[in-house]
Structures are given as structure tokens and as C-alpha cells.
Amino acid sequence: MGWNDQIIKEFRENNGRVGGMFEGAPLVVITTVGVRTGKPHTTPVVYYADGERYLVFGSNNGRPTHPDWYHNILGIGQVTMEIGSEEGHVRPLSARAVVLEGEERDRYWELQCARDPAFRAYEEKSARVIPVVALYPLDLSKDPARNRMIGEQLIVHHQELRAELARVRAAIDAVRAGGTAASTTAEEQGAAPELAEQLRKHCLTFCWDMQMHHTREQGSFTAFERQYPHLAPVLRRLRAEHVVVERALAAFEELLGRGMSGTPAEVGQVQAELDRVVADLEEHFAYEEERLIPALNGVVG
């Protein structure tokens, strides 16, 4: 486990508190979408609480380049933040990221440096204008039109995931057909390496997009719990189903991480792991849409 992963683990286990160099610092863990890879990117950052929003700083510990999470939010300005709560455990929040500009950026940067001089040192060391980003947690009480849009987006994301799944299935068929055509001893030789690599890529894309979809949902469920208390049992069930899928996704990603040569045995294993991920997924999607969308549309269910 890397240094970052250890901090994140400690953070999650201790309601957002960690020791070492972050001892006593207000920390938030953010997950963004990798701008080039599409892979979820999770990292701890120091925040400054400013009313309802949280300000985070792209100091990158004084390195000469902006941190990856900053580039990611320039691509997709939607993040999931995890933060300690009064309930005694870390809660995920879905948030919109806005980069502060001009005088506002400078003013909050100065405030942060005054509060924590390490940030001044980072600025001097990096010779960059360090970005200041405001995170606005999702609040479903504010804008009915936005809530309706979130419902529409949910359906779009589910459709995209279904389409990706269809591509993965097609890639599995292609590898199988390639393997049979290439050789009578397909068991040893397997499919063409490029087909196997294509399959691996499709699988990884599906895997990361599913992980990202769930990470985002976990964050928005917190806003649902606040706004629609009658949905508590529904959200408990959905969260529990996410845990099952997340475990299967982690195993799937690990398998894909070993690389692929395309032997029939290996393709069979990929298919078995995929089946584990998608078991009951259609039912989960349908239940989620059926129960959450009426609430977002203002229909009390």
C-alpha cells in the first residue's frame, strides 16, 4: 500500500483524522476522474471551510507542477469529497468544483497562508500561482430544475454503462472467435494479442466507469438522505448493493492488472469475474431509477 493509500485508510477509519505530517490539519479526501485515463483518482487535501463551501489548494507540496486532481477537475468539475462528520464516521459528498479567479483567489490564498505558513513555503518553492478551488456540496433543497437534471443524468449514465457492457461482451466474442480461427491448439495459443489487449481495455474502461459512477452516487446519496428522509431504507439497500459490486470490481481490476494473453482459460476467467460484477446490476439500475427519480421530480413516493 502506497503512502497516499495509507493516509486515506487512516482517514476513513478515524472520522477524517490522521497523524504524521497531517496531524491536526483539516483534511478532505477527494475523488476526481483521471482526465486522460478515465480512472478514479483519490487523494487527501487540506481544506479551508468557508461557509457552505470548502476551499482546496493545488500546492502539490511545493512541486513545480499542478497536482493531477487539479487537471482532472478542469476536465470534469464534479468531485466526490469525503469528510469527517458529527455522526462519527466519514461521509461522502457529491460536490461541484469551481476554480477561483483574480482577487477572490488571492484573498483566500492569503488567508490560507496566514493560517498555515507551510502554504507560503510551498508557493515559494514551486514558483507557481497555486490554484484555489471551491467545492460546493450538492444540496437538493435548492433548485428543482437541477434536481430534475440529476434524474435525467442518472438514466444517461446507466445507458452509457449498459452500452459499455455490450462492448465488453462483443470484445469477449471477438477474442473467442480469434482464438478458434487462429489455431487448432487454441488452448495454448489463444487469440491474437491485440484482441486480448482490446478486451482488457474495454474491461478496464467499464470497471473504472462503474467505480466512478458508484463513487458519485455514494456522494449524492448523502444529499438524498438529508432531503428525502423517507428514502432512508431505499438508500440503505442501494448502498449495500454498491458494496457488493465494489468488491467484485476490485477483484476484476486486479485480474485485469495482470495483463492478458487471450487464452480461452483466461477469457473464461474474465467472463466469470465480469458476470460477478454485473449480476443483479440491471435490477439495481431499475430500482435506483424507480425510487430516486420521482423524488428528484418532486413526486412524494
Q: Which positions ≥6 away from 199 have C-beta within 8 Å?
A: 168, 171, 172, 174, 175, 260, 262, 267, 270
> In the bound complex, what is the minimum distance in angstroms from residue 138's beta carbon to Fe ion?
15
Q: Which residue is nearest to Fe ion (CB)?
A: 217
Count of chain residues binding Fe ion (CB under 5 A):
2
Residue placing its CB nearer to Fe ion in the complex, 49 or 156: 156
Residue placing its CB nearer to Fe ion in the complex, 10 or 225: 225
Instruction: Pick one of 123, 217, 253, 273: the residue that binds Fe ion (CB under 5 A).
Output: 217
> In the bound complex, what is the minimum distance in angstroms from residue 79's beta carbon to Fe ion?
18
N residues, the chain:
301
Query: What cell was used for 102?
Result: 483574480
209: contact with Fe ion by CB under 5 A:
no
Residue placing its CB nearer to Fe ion in the complex, 126 or 220: 220
Residue placing its CB nearer to Fe ion in the complex, 253 or 288: 288
> In the bound complex, what is the minimum distance in angstroms from residue 58's beta carbon to Fe ion?
30
Residue placing its CB nearer to Fe ion in the complex, 266 or 288: 288
CA distance 16 to 27: 7
Largest CA distance in the chain: 72
**Interface stretch with Fe ion, choices 1-9, 51-59, 218-226, 284-292 (CB under 5 A):** 284-292
Are 200 and 256 within 8 A, CB to CB? Answer: yes
Query: CA of 276: how far to CAs of 10, 61, 175, in Å?
Result: 29, 40, 20
**Interface stretch with Fe ion, choices 68-76, 144-152, 270-278, 287-295 (CB under 5 A):** 287-295
DSSP category for residue 32: E
Q: Which positions ≥6 away from 76 have C-beta within 8 Å?
A: 32, 33, 35
Residues in touch with Fe ion (CB under 5 A)? 217, 288
